[in-house]
């Protein structure tokens, strides 16, 4: 039985002029088999979809200023620009209403209601939160993630594909997957963050020989 291996794939800096499926084929297509899982970093997928904005392009509304006063000083929602960017996707009144509901839910011991209702609030990478030259931008979460994963799987002939959000704090989540993939299982495999979105420029990771270990 072949060993399970995580293989980071170096690329150039990918931009909105790139297609993530084409980029994976260009840099990793020769090394992918039907025993493997192809993993793409969520921020890079979003960038190739053009899902980013510069802070100076945002008009900060009073709802964003109000909510920002009650957010602890860490994470994208601690930034007034991150808050406004999320509102551009989720709607300012929906964000405010969800924020109030989330605060009430916390009083009764239920956390995470706000982020469950406003998914972009947890997915946005704030300024400096991603690789240059996009470190001057806010990057939204990727769109149509399951569809993109199916396209990656079909193009590469891989066993499966995922789009993952992983960081160096051992937080790992699968945001999109092709059919038949267990997202929790893949998130555990990626927990030590094999991606490199900064100087390493390795936003693609191949989980080699996955099918040899799928039932273990």
pLDDT in the model for residue 199: 52
pLDDT in the model for residue 101: 94
Short-list 158, 185, 134, 194, CA closest to 5: 194
Domains of the chain: 5-50+144-215 (3.30.1330.100), 52-138 (no CATH)
pLDDT in the model for residue 111: 87
Kindly state the average pLDDT of the residues 184-209.
83
Interior/surface letters 72-103, b for 16+ CB within 10 angstroms, e for the rest: eeeebbebbbbbbbbbbbbebeebbebbeebe
Residue 215: band (very low, low, confident or very high) from pLDDT cuts 50, 70, 90 = low
Structure tokens at 214: 């799928």
pLDDT in the model for residue 1: 66
Residue 29 in contact with residue 154, Cβ under 8 Å? no
Express as a percent the part of the chain with pLDDT over 70: 94
pLDDT in the model for residue 119: 85
Neighbouring-strand partners of residue 6 = 207
Residue 24 has pLDDT above 80, yes or no: yes
pLDDT in the model for residue 146: 96
pLDDT in the model for residue 122: 84
Edge to edge, what strands does the sheet with 37-41 contain?
5-9, 204-208, 37-41, 160-166, 172-177
Neighbouring-strand partners of residue 196 = 202
- Segment 164-187, tens digit of pLDDT: 998 777 788 899 999 999 999 999
- Find where tokens 């969520």 sit: 42
Q: How far apart (Å, rounded) are the C-alpha atoms in residues 196 and 41?
A: 9
Q: How far apart (Å, rounded) are the C-alpha atoms in residues 46 and 176?
A: 12
Neighbours of 119 (CB within 10 A): 14
pLDDT in the model for residue 129: 62
- Segment 97-132, tens digit of pLDDT: 999 999 999 899 998 899 889 888 888 887 766 667
Burial group, residue 132, by CB count within 10 angstroms (0-12, 13-18, 19+): exposed
Kindly state the average pLDDT of the residues 81-106.
92
- Find where tokens 């099918």 sit: 211
pLDDT in the model for residue 197: 55
Residue 216 has pLDDT above 60, yes or no: no
Residue 91: band (very low, low, confident or very high) from pLDDT cuts 50, 70, 90 = very high
């Amino acid at each position: 039985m072949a060993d399970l291996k995580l293989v980071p794939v170096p690329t150039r800096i990918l931009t909105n002029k790139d297609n993530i499926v084409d980029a994976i084929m260009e840099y990793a297509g020769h090394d992918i088999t039907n025993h493997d899982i192809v993993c793409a970093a969520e921020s890079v997928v979003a960038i190739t979809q053009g899902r980013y904005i510069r802070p100076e392009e945002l008009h900060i509304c009073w709802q964003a200023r109000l909510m920002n006063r009650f957010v602890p000083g860490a994470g994208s929602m601690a930034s007034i620009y991150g808050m406004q960017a999320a509102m551009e996707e989720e709607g300012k009144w929906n964000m405010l209403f969800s924020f109030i509901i989330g605060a009430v839910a916390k009083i009764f011991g239920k956390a995470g209601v706000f982020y469950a209702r406003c998914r972009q609030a947890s997915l946005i990478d704030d300024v400096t939160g991603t690789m240059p030259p996009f470190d001057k931008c806010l990057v939204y979460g990727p769109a149509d993630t399951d569809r993109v994963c199916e396209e990656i799987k079909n193009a590469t002939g891989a066993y499966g594909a995922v789009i993952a959000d992983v960081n160096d704090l051992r937080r790992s989540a699968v945001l999109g997957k092709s059919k038949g993939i267990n997202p929790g299982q893949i998130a555990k495999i990626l927990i030590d963050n094999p991606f490199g979105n900064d100087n390493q420029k390795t936003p693609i990771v191949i989980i080699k020989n996955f099918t040899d270990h799928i039932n273990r």
